[in-house]
Structure 1
Amino acid sequence: MNITNAVLKTSKLKELNDFYKKTLSFTLQDETANSFKIQLGISTIEFTNKNVKGNPYYHFACDIPSNQFHEAKEWIQRRINLLTEDGEDEIYFTNLHAKSLYFEDPAGNIFEWIARMNDNPTSSQPFSLNNIQKLSEMSLVVSNKIAIAESLKDFHIISRDNAEVTANSLSFMGDQKTKVYLLLTNPGRRWLFSNKKSVVFPLDIRLDASIILGVDETNEFYIRKILNE
Protein backbone atom coordinates (compact mmCIF):
# COMPACT_ATOMS: atom_id res chain seq x y z
CA MET A 1 0.00 0.00 0.00
CA ASN A 2 1.30 3.40 -0.98
CA ILE A 3 -0.48 6.74 -0.78
CA THR A 4 -0.47 8.28 -4.23
CA ASN A 5 -2.38 11.45 -3.36
CA ALA A 6 -4.11 13.07 -0.39
CA VAL A 7 -6.54 15.97 -0.83
CA LEU A 8 -6.72 18.23 2.23
CA LYS A 9 -9.02 21.18 2.90
CA THR A 10 -7.67 24.58 3.89
CA SER A 11 -9.02 28.04 4.62
CA LYS A 12 -5.53 29.50 4.12
CA LEU A 13 -4.70 28.60 0.55
CA LYS A 14 -2.65 31.72 -0.23
CA GLU A 15 -0.63 31.42 2.97
CA LEU A 16 0.08 27.75 2.22
CA ASN A 17 0.98 28.58 -1.37
CA ASP A 18 3.53 31.15 -0.19
CA PHE A 19 4.90 28.84 2.50
CA TYR A 20 5.46 25.80 0.33
CA LYS A 21 6.63 27.73 -2.74
CA LYS A 22 8.63 30.59 -1.24
CA THR A 23 9.71 29.41 2.21
CA LEU A 24 10.37 25.74 1.45
CA SER A 25 10.95 26.10 -2.33
CA PHE A 26 8.58 23.37 -3.50
CA THR A 27 7.68 23.49 -7.18
CA LEU A 28 3.90 23.63 -7.04
CA GLN A 29 1.89 21.40 -9.38
CA ASP A 30 -1.58 21.74 -10.91
CA GLU A 31 -1.87 25.21 -9.44
CA THR A 32 -5.31 26.82 -9.81
CA ALA A 33 -7.28 29.57 -8.08
CA ASN A 34 -8.62 26.98 -5.62
CA SER A 35 -5.85 24.40 -5.18
CA PHE A 36 -2.26 23.29 -5.67
CA LYS A 37 -0.19 20.15 -5.16
CA ILE A 38 3.22 19.44 -3.68
CA GLN A 39 5.30 16.41 -4.66
CA LEU A 40 6.57 14.13 -1.89
CA GLY A 41 8.54 11.48 -3.76
CA ILE A 42 6.05 9.02 -5.25
CA SER A 43 3.16 10.80 -3.50
CA THR A 44 1.42 14.17 -3.75
CA ILE A 45 -0.63 16.30 -1.39
CA GLU A 46 -3.26 18.62 -2.81
CA PHE A 47 -4.50 21.58 -0.76
CA THR A 48 -7.90 22.96 -1.74
CA ASN A 49 -10.25 25.63 -0.42
CA LYS A 50 -13.23 24.31 -2.37
CA ASN A 51 -16.26 24.00 -0.05
CA VAL A 52 -14.04 24.47 2.98
CA LYS A 53 -15.66 24.91 6.37
CA GLY A 54 -13.83 26.21 9.43
CA ASN A 55 -10.04 25.96 9.68
CA PRO A 56 -9.04 22.36 8.90
CA TYR A 57 -5.66 20.94 9.84
CA TYR A 58 -4.12 17.48 9.59
CA HIS A 59 -1.05 15.46 10.58
CA PHE A 60 1.00 13.82 7.83
CA ALA A 61 4.52 12.42 7.52
CA CYS A 62 6.99 11.81 4.73
CA ASP A 63 9.94 9.44 4.58
CA ILE A 64 13.46 10.79 4.13
CA PRO A 65 16.64 8.77 3.49
CA SER A 66 17.70 6.66 6.44
CA ASN A 67 21.20 8.18 6.45
CA GLN A 68 20.14 11.84 6.13
CA PHE A 69 18.13 12.76 9.22
CA HIS A 70 20.65 15.28 10.55
CA GLU A 71 21.32 16.72 7.11
CA ALA A 72 17.58 17.10 6.51
CA LYS A 73 17.18 18.69 9.94
CA GLU A 74 19.86 21.27 9.17
CA TRP A 75 18.20 21.94 5.79
CA ILE A 76 14.76 22.63 7.27
CA GLN A 77 16.12 24.63 10.23
CA ARG A 78 17.68 27.11 7.83
CA ARG A 79 14.14 27.93 6.69
CA ILE A 80 11.77 27.51 9.63
CA ASN A 81 11.59 26.71 13.34
CA LEU A 82 10.89 23.15 14.41
CA LEU A 83 8.20 22.16 16.87
CA THR A 84 9.34 20.91 20.26
CA GLU A 85 8.18 18.37 22.84
CA ASP A 86 9.58 18.55 26.39
CA GLY A 87 12.29 20.89 25.11
CA GLU A 88 13.44 18.55 22.32
CA ASP A 89 13.12 19.23 18.59
CA GLU A 90 13.47 15.61 17.47
CA ILE A 91 12.44 12.19 18.72
CA TYR A 92 13.84 8.68 18.45
CA PHE A 93 11.28 5.86 18.29
CA THR A 94 13.04 2.83 19.73
CA ASN A 95 10.40 0.35 18.54
CA LEU A 96 10.74 1.59 14.95
CA HIS A 97 14.44 2.47 15.01
CA ALA A 98 13.43 5.80 13.47
CA LYS A 99 13.96 9.51 14.04
CA SER A 100 11.40 12.25 13.41
CA LEU A 101 11.20 16.02 13.38
CA TYR A 102 8.06 18.14 13.16
CA PHE A 103 7.04 21.57 11.93
CA GLU A 104 3.80 23.43 11.38
CA ASP A 105 2.62 25.21 8.23
CA PRO A 106 0.45 28.37 8.21
CA ALA A 107 -2.78 26.35 8.24
CA GLY A 108 -1.71 24.47 11.37
CA ASN A 109 -0.92 21.22 9.58
CA ILE A 110 1.63 19.15 11.51
CA PHE A 111 4.25 17.95 9.03
CA GLU A 112 6.60 15.18 10.16
CA TRP A 113 9.82 14.06 8.45
CA ILE A 114 10.84 10.54 9.46
CA ALA A 115 13.99 8.53 8.79
CA ARG A 116 13.33 4.83 9.36
CA MET A 117 16.83 3.45 9.83
CA ASN A 118 16.01 -0.14 8.87
CA ASP A 119 13.51 0.56 6.10
CA ASN A 120 14.13 3.79 4.19
CA PRO A 121 16.67 3.69 1.33
CA THR A 122 19.83 5.74 1.74
CA SER A 123 20.95 8.57 -0.52
CA SER A 124 24.41 9.73 -1.62
CA GLN A 125 23.08 13.04 -2.95
CA PRO A 126 23.10 16.21 -0.81
CA PHE A 127 19.74 16.56 0.89
CA SER A 128 17.04 18.47 -0.98
CA LEU A 129 13.30 18.19 -1.46
CA ASN A 130 14.07 15.68 -4.22
CA ASN A 131 15.29 13.27 -1.53
CA ILE A 132 11.83 13.00 0.04
CA GLN A 133 10.68 9.45 -0.72
CA LYS A 134 6.94 9.23 -0.10
CA LEU A 135 4.00 10.23 2.03
CA SER A 136 4.23 7.50 4.64
CA GLU A 137 1.66 8.56 7.24
CA MET A 138 -1.68 10.35 6.88
CA SER A 139 -4.01 11.15 9.75
CA LEU A 140 -7.50 9.68 9.51
CA VAL A 141 -9.69 11.11 12.26
CA VAL A 142 -13.13 9.53 12.57
CA SER A 143 -15.92 9.54 15.12
CA ASN A 144 -16.39 5.74 15.16
CA LYS A 145 -12.89 4.32 15.08
CA ILE A 146 -13.62 0.68 15.93
CA ALA A 147 -16.19 0.32 13.14
CA ILE A 148 -13.90 2.05 10.64
CA ALA A 149 -11.04 -0.31 11.52
CA GLU A 150 -13.32 -3.23 10.61
CA SER A 151 -14.14 -1.57 7.29
CA LEU A 152 -10.44 -1.12 6.53
CA LYS A 153 -9.78 -4.81 7.21
CA ASP A 154 -12.14 -5.68 4.37
CA PHE A 155 -9.59 -3.95 2.08
CA HIS A 156 -6.61 -5.72 3.72
CA ILE A 157 -5.62 -2.59 5.66
CA ILE A 158 -4.83 -3.85 9.13
CA SER A 159 -3.23 -2.65 12.36
CA ARG A 160 0.58 -2.61 12.47
CA ASP A 161 1.93 -5.80 14.04
CA ASN A 162 -1.70 -6.91 14.43
CA ALA A 163 -2.01 -4.70 17.49
CA GLU A 164 -5.42 -4.45 19.09
CA VAL A 165 -7.45 -1.49 17.84
CA THR A 166 -8.90 0.33 20.83
CA ALA A 167 -11.03 3.45 21.03
CA ASN A 168 -8.47 5.64 22.82
CA SER A 169 -5.22 4.63 21.12
CA LEU A 170 -3.60 5.80 17.88
CA SER A 171 -3.72 2.89 15.45
CA PHE A 172 -1.29 2.56 12.54
CA MET A 173 -3.27 0.92 9.74
CA GLY A 174 -1.45 -0.45 6.70
CA ASP A 175 -0.60 -3.59 4.73
CA GLN A 176 2.53 -4.60 6.71
CA LYS A 177 4.78 -4.36 3.63
CA THR A 178 5.41 -0.76 2.64
CA LYS A 179 5.62 0.90 6.08
CA VAL A 180 2.89 3.33 4.95
CA TYR A 181 0.13 3.98 7.45
CA LEU A 182 -3.21 5.63 7.99
CA LEU A 183 -3.13 7.05 11.51
CA LEU A 184 -6.59 6.07 12.67
CA THR A 185 -7.89 7.92 15.72
CA ASN A 186 -11.02 9.25 17.34
CA PRO A 187 -11.29 13.02 17.95
CA GLY A 188 -9.60 14.59 20.95
CA ARG A 189 -6.16 12.96 20.85
CA ARG A 190 -3.24 15.39 21.08
CA TRP A 191 -0.83 15.20 18.17
CA LEU A 192 2.77 14.65 19.25
CA PHE A 193 4.90 17.82 19.12
CA SER A 194 1.76 19.97 19.03
CA ASN A 195 -0.90 21.41 21.31
CA LYS A 196 -3.52 20.57 18.67
CA LYS A 197 -5.96 17.73 19.15
CA SER A 198 -7.32 15.44 16.46
CA VAL A 199 -10.51 16.75 14.85
CA VAL A 200 -12.67 15.25 12.10
CA PHE A 201 -12.10 17.18 8.87
CA PRO A 202 -12.92 16.15 5.28
CA LEU A 203 -10.12 14.59 3.22
CA ASP A 204 -9.61 12.17 0.37
CA ILE A 205 -6.80 9.59 0.28
CA ARG A 206 -5.97 7.65 -2.86
CA LEU A 207 -3.97 4.42 -2.61
CA ASP A 208 -2.06 2.65 -5.35
CA ALA A 209 -4.22 -0.45 -4.88
CA SER A 210 -7.06 1.35 -6.73
CA ILE A 211 -8.66 2.34 -3.43
CA ILE A 212 -9.97 5.74 -2.45
CA LEU A 213 -11.05 6.50 1.10
CA GLY A 214 -11.52 9.41 3.44
CA VAL A 215 -14.05 11.60 5.16
CA ASP A 216 -16.70 13.34 3.08
CA GLU A 217 -18.08 16.83 3.55
CA THR A 218 -20.68 15.56 6.02
CA ASN A 219 -17.81 14.09 8.10
CA GLU A 220 -18.77 10.52 7.22
CA PHE A 221 -16.09 7.93 6.45
CA TYR A 222 -16.09 6.19 3.06
CA ILE A 223 -13.94 3.64 1.26
CA ARG A 224 -14.34 2.09 -2.18
CA LYS A 225 -12.51 0.47 -5.04
CA ILE A 226 -11.81 2.60 -8.10
CA LEU A 227 -13.20 0.76 -11.10
CA ASN A 228 -11.97 0.74 -14.69
CA GLU A 229 -8.39 1.77 -13.97
Structure 2
Amino acid sequence: MRFSTVALTASSLDAVEEFYGRTLELPLARSAGACTVQIGGTELRFVPFGAGAATHPVNHLAITVPRNQFAEARHWLQSRTAVIELDGESGFALGEPWHSDSVYFLGPDGIVLEFIARQGLPNDRVEPFGPGGMLLVSEVGLAVPSGQEAVAELAAELGLERFAGVSASFAAVGTADALLIVVDDGRTWFPTADAAASAAPLQIELVGAPRAGRYRSGLGATVAARA
Protein backbone atom coordinates (compact mmCIF):
# COMPACT_ATOMS: atom_id res chain seq x y z
CA MET A 1 0.00 0.00 0.00
CA ARG A 2 1.21 3.53 -0.71
CA PHE A 3 0.09 7.13 -0.94
CA SER A 4 -0.08 7.96 -4.63
CA THR A 5 -1.25 11.56 -4.20
CA VAL A 6 -1.50 13.92 -1.25
CA ALA A 7 -3.10 17.31 -1.92
CA LEU A 8 -2.59 20.04 0.68
CA THR A 9 -3.05 23.78 0.96
CA ALA A 10 -0.35 26.47 1.11
CA SER A 11 -0.38 30.16 1.98
CA SER A 12 2.34 30.83 -0.62
CA LEU A 13 3.15 28.76 -3.68
CA ASP A 14 6.39 30.76 -3.98
CA ALA A 15 7.43 29.41 -0.55
CA VAL A 16 6.52 25.87 -1.62
CA GLU A 17 8.61 26.20 -4.77
CA GLU A 18 11.56 27.64 -2.84
CA PHE A 19 11.56 24.99 -0.12
CA TYR A 20 10.69 21.78 -1.95
CA GLY A 21 12.22 22.69 -5.29
CA ARG A 22 15.38 24.50 -4.18
CA THR A 23 16.13 23.53 -0.57
CA LEU A 24 15.19 19.85 -0.95
CA GLU A 25 15.97 19.80 -4.70
CA LEU A 26 12.88 17.76 -5.55
CA PRO A 27 11.25 17.67 -9.00
CA LEU A 28 8.57 20.37 -9.04
CA ALA A 29 6.07 21.70 -11.56
CA ARG A 30 4.41 25.10 -11.10
CA SER A 31 1.18 26.31 -12.64
CA ALA A 32 -0.97 29.35 -12.00
CA GLY A 33 -2.92 27.63 -9.27
CA ALA A 34 -0.80 24.79 -7.94
CA CYS A 35 2.65 23.39 -7.20
CA THR A 36 3.23 19.67 -7.75
CA VAL A 37 6.19 18.01 -6.04
CA GLN A 38 7.32 14.46 -6.80
CA ILE A 39 8.73 12.54 -3.84
CA GLY A 40 9.61 9.13 -5.22
CA GLY A 41 6.34 7.27 -5.63
CA THR A 42 4.18 10.03 -4.11
CA GLU A 43 2.91 13.21 -5.72
CA LEU A 44 2.40 16.18 -3.40
CA ARG A 45 0.06 18.83 -4.73
CA PHE A 46 -0.20 22.24 -3.09
CA VAL A 47 -3.01 24.68 -3.84
CA PRO A 48 -3.57 28.13 -2.29
CA PHE A 49 -5.29 28.24 1.07
CA GLY A 50 -8.39 30.38 1.45
CA ALA A 51 -7.49 34.03 1.99
CA GLY A 52 -10.17 34.50 4.63
CA ALA A 53 -8.67 32.04 7.11
CA ALA A 54 -7.23 33.49 10.32
CA THR A 55 -4.46 30.91 10.63
CA HIS A 56 -3.03 28.26 8.36
CA PRO A 57 -3.52 24.61 9.39
CA VAL A 58 -0.48 22.64 10.51
CA ASN A 59 0.05 19.11 9.25
CA HIS A 60 2.70 16.36 9.26
CA LEU A 61 4.36 14.31 6.53
CA ALA A 62 7.06 11.66 6.86
CA ILE A 63 9.34 10.81 3.96
CA THR A 64 10.94 7.37 3.85
CA VAL A 65 14.69 7.29 3.22
CA PRO A 66 16.84 4.18 2.69
CA ARG A 67 17.34 2.22 5.89
CA ASN A 68 21.12 2.09 5.33
CA GLN A 69 21.44 5.86 4.76
CA PHE A 70 19.84 7.51 7.78
CA ALA A 71 23.06 9.15 9.01
CA GLU A 72 23.87 10.33 5.49
CA ALA A 73 20.33 11.63 4.94
CA ARG A 74 20.40 13.47 8.24
CA HIS A 75 23.72 15.14 7.37
CA TRP A 76 22.42 16.08 3.90
CA LEU A 77 19.31 17.60 5.46
CA GLN A 78 21.22 19.54 8.13
CA SER A 79 23.36 21.14 5.43
CA ARG A 80 20.19 22.60 3.89
CA THR A 81 17.79 23.49 6.69
CA ALA A 82 17.46 23.52 10.47
CA VAL A 83 16.34 20.32 12.17
CA ILE A 84 14.17 20.15 15.28
CA GLU A 85 15.86 19.28 18.56
CA LEU A 86 14.31 17.96 21.75
CA ASP A 87 16.41 17.91 24.91
CA GLY A 88 19.50 18.49 22.77
CA GLU A 89 18.81 15.54 20.47
CA SER A 90 17.82 15.67 16.80
CA GLY A 91 17.72 11.94 15.99
CA PHE A 92 14.91 9.79 17.36
CA ALA A 93 14.84 5.98 17.37
CA LEU A 94 11.68 3.96 17.95
CA GLY A 95 11.37 0.26 18.69
CA GLU A 96 8.57 -2.15 17.88
CA PRO A 97 6.48 -1.85 15.76
CA TRP A 98 8.17 1.18 14.14
CA HIS A 99 11.81 -0.07 14.06
CA SER A 100 12.80 3.35 12.78
CA ASP A 101 15.15 6.31 13.03
CA SER A 102 13.82 9.81 12.40
CA VAL A 103 14.89 13.43 12.06
CA TYR A 104 12.33 16.26 11.92
CA PHE A 105 12.27 19.68 10.29
CA LEU A 106 9.79 22.41 9.40
CA GLY A 107 8.53 23.28 5.94
CA PRO A 108 6.42 26.17 4.70
CA ASP A 109 3.42 27.08 6.87
CA GLY A 110 4.96 25.23 9.81
CA ILE A 111 4.31 21.74 8.42
CA VAL A 112 6.22 19.19 10.50
CA LEU A 113 8.29 17.09 8.10
CA GLU A 114 10.28 13.97 8.86
CA PHE A 115 12.93 11.79 7.27
CA ILE A 116 12.31 8.26 8.51
CA ALA A 117 14.44 5.15 7.94
CA ARG A 118 12.43 2.00 8.58
CA GLN A 119 14.68 -0.94 9.33
CA GLY A 120 12.02 -3.48 8.34
CA LEU A 121 11.81 -2.26 4.75
CA PRO A 122 14.37 -3.70 2.24
CA ASN A 123 15.19 -0.39 0.55
CA ASP A 124 18.99 -0.19 0.82
CA ARG A 125 20.61 2.20 -1.65
CA VAL A 126 24.17 2.31 -2.99
CA GLU A 127 24.22 5.80 -4.56
CA PRO A 128 25.18 8.76 -2.34
CA PHE A 129 22.13 10.23 -0.64
CA GLY A 130 20.39 13.01 -2.52
CA PRO A 131 16.87 13.93 -3.66
CA GLY A 132 16.49 10.47 -5.23
CA GLY A 133 16.88 8.98 -1.76
CA MET A 134 13.52 10.40 -0.74
CA LEU A 135 11.59 7.29 -1.68
CA LEU A 136 7.96 8.15 -0.90
CA VAL A 137 5.69 9.85 1.59
CA SER A 138 4.92 7.16 4.15
CA GLU A 139 3.02 9.15 6.79
CA VAL A 140 0.31 11.77 6.47
CA GLY A 141 -1.17 13.58 9.45
CA LEU A 142 -4.94 13.49 9.79
CA ALA A 143 -6.48 15.84 12.36
CA VAL A 144 -9.99 14.71 13.28
CA PRO A 145 -12.71 15.56 15.83
CA SER A 146 -12.28 12.19 17.55
CA GLY A 147 -9.32 9.89 16.94
CA GLN A 148 -11.09 6.82 18.28
CA GLU A 149 -14.09 7.32 16.00
CA ALA A 150 -11.86 7.97 12.98
CA VAL A 151 -9.85 4.77 13.57
CA ALA A 152 -13.09 2.77 13.68
CA GLU A 153 -14.40 4.41 10.50
CA LEU A 154 -11.13 3.85 8.60
CA ALA A 155 -11.31 0.17 9.51
CA ALA A 156 -14.94 -0.13 8.48
CA GLU A 157 -14.72 1.88 5.24
CA LEU A 158 -11.22 1.03 3.94
CA GLY A 159 -10.15 -2.04 5.92
CA LEU A 160 -7.19 -0.18 7.47
CA GLU A 161 -5.85 -1.62 10.71
CA ARG A 162 -4.19 0.11 13.63
CA PHE A 163 -0.39 -0.06 13.28
CA ALA A 164 0.59 1.64 16.54
CA GLY A 165 -0.71 4.01 19.19
CA VAL A 166 -2.87 3.28 22.17
CA SER A 167 -3.86 6.74 23.42
CA ALA A 168 -7.26 8.26 22.79
CA SER A 169 -5.73 11.14 20.81
CA PHE A 170 -3.11 9.33 18.67
CA ALA A 171 -3.06 6.29 16.38
CA ALA A 172 -1.09 5.21 13.34
CA VAL A 173 -3.32 3.36 10.89
CA GLY A 174 -2.16 1.40 7.82
CA THR A 175 1.19 -0.15 6.95
CA ALA A 176 4.83 0.94 7.25
CA ASP A 177 4.71 2.21 3.64
CA ALA A 178 1.52 4.22 4.15
CA LEU A 179 0.44 5.34 7.61
CA LEU A 180 -2.30 7.79 8.46
CA ILE A 181 -1.27 9.51 11.69
CA VAL A 182 -4.67 10.07 13.23
CA VAL A 183 -4.70 12.73 15.96
CA ASP A 184 -7.32 14.77 17.70
CA ASP A 185 -7.56 18.28 16.34
CA GLY A 186 -5.24 20.48 18.45
CA ARG A 187 -2.80 17.76 19.54
CA THR A 188 0.85 18.91 19.39
CA TRP A 189 2.97 17.27 16.72
CA PHE A 190 6.07 15.49 18.09
CA PRO A 191 8.82 16.65 18.65
CA THR A 192 7.68 20.27 18.66
CA ALA A 193 6.48 22.21 21.68
CA ASP A 194 3.80 24.25 19.95
CA ALA A 195 2.93 22.94 16.46
CA ALA A 196 -0.68 21.97 17.08
CA ALA A 197 -2.37 19.71 14.54
CA SER A 198 -5.26 21.47 12.86
CA ALA A 199 -7.76 20.42 10.26
CA ALA A 200 -7.55 21.58 6.67
CA PRO A 201 -8.67 20.71 3.17
CA LEU A 202 -6.70 17.54 2.47
CA GLN A 203 -7.15 14.90 -0.22
CA ILE A 204 -5.29 11.61 0.06
CA GLU A 205 -5.24 8.84 -2.53
CA LEU A 206 -4.20 5.35 -1.41
CA VAL A 207 -3.42 2.49 -3.75
CA GLY A 208 -3.20 -1.14 -2.71
CA ALA A 209 -5.59 -0.69 0.21
CA PRO A 210 -7.37 -3.71 1.71
CA ARG A 211 -10.69 -2.32 0.53
CA ALA A 212 -11.73 0.32 -2.00
CA GLY A 213 -13.72 3.12 -0.48
CA ARG A 214 -13.77 6.67 0.80
CA TYR A 215 -13.38 8.22 4.25
CA ARG A 216 -14.35 11.80 5.11
CA SER A 217 -13.11 13.37 8.33
CA GLY A 218 -15.85 15.96 8.66
CA LEU A 219 -13.12 18.63 8.91
CA GLY A 220 -12.17 18.86 5.24
CA ALA A 221 -10.04 15.73 4.75
CA THR A 222 -10.85 12.90 2.36
CA VAL A 223 -9.08 9.55 1.95
CA ALA A 224 -9.89 7.76 -1.30
CA ALA A 225 -8.63 4.17 -1.46
CA ARG A 226 -8.18 1.74 -4.35
CA ALA A 227 -7.59 -1.92 -3.71
Q: Tell me which interval the TM-score lies in, with the shorter structure as reference length.
A: 0.7 to 0.9
CA contact (8 A) 2:34 2:46 kept: yes
1:172 lines up with 2:175 in the alignment: no
- Cα deviation for residue 188 of structure 1 reads 2.3
1:60-98 Cα deviation digits (max 9, x unpaired): 101100000011111111111111111111111122221
In 1, distance between residues paired with 2:215 and 2:116? 24
Residue of structure 1 aligned with 2:188, choices 163, 187, 190 = 190
Show the 5 A alignment for 1:15-30: 15-29=15-29
CA contact (8 A) 1:157 1:173 kept: yes
Name stretches of at least 5 consecutive residues in structure 2 with no aligned partner. none
Partner of 2:162: 159
Residues 213 and 42 of structure 1: CA distance in aligned 2, closer, same or farther (over 3 Å): farther
* Number of residues of Structure 1 aligned to a counterpart in Structure 2: 219
Partner of 2:74: 73
In 2, distance between residues paired with 1:214 and 1:6? 14
1:184-210 Cα deviation digits (max 9, x unpaired): 111222111222111112201001146
CA contact (8 A) 2:58 2:111 kept: yes
Partner of 1:38: 37
Residues 4 and 86 of structure 1: CA distance in aligned 2, closer, same or farther (over 3 Å): same
In 2, distance between residues paired with 1:105 and 1:225? 27
Identity, in percent, stands at: 25
Show the 5 A alignment for 1:1-229: 1-29=1-29, 31-49=30-48, 51=50, 53=53, 54-95=55-96, 96-154=98-156, 155-160=158-163, 166-168=167-169, 170-174=170-174, 176=175, 178-194=176-192, 195-209=194-208, 211=213, 213=215, 215=217, 219-220=219-220, 222-223=222-223
In 1, distance between residues paired with 2:120 and 2:224? 32
Where 2:109 maps in the other structure, the secondary structure is coil
Where 2:113 maps in the other structure, the secondary structure is strand
- Cα deviation for residue 120 of structure 1 reads 4.3
TM-score, with length taken from structure 1? 0.86
In 2, distance between residues paired with 1:135 and 1:199? 20
Where 2:28 maps in the other structure, the secondary structure is coil
* Structure showing the higher strand proportion among its residues: 2
Name stretches of at least 5 consecutive residues in structure 1 with no aligned partner. none
The letter for the 1-side match of 2:179 is: Y
1:202-223 Cα deviation digits (max 9, x unpaired): 201001146555557xx25545
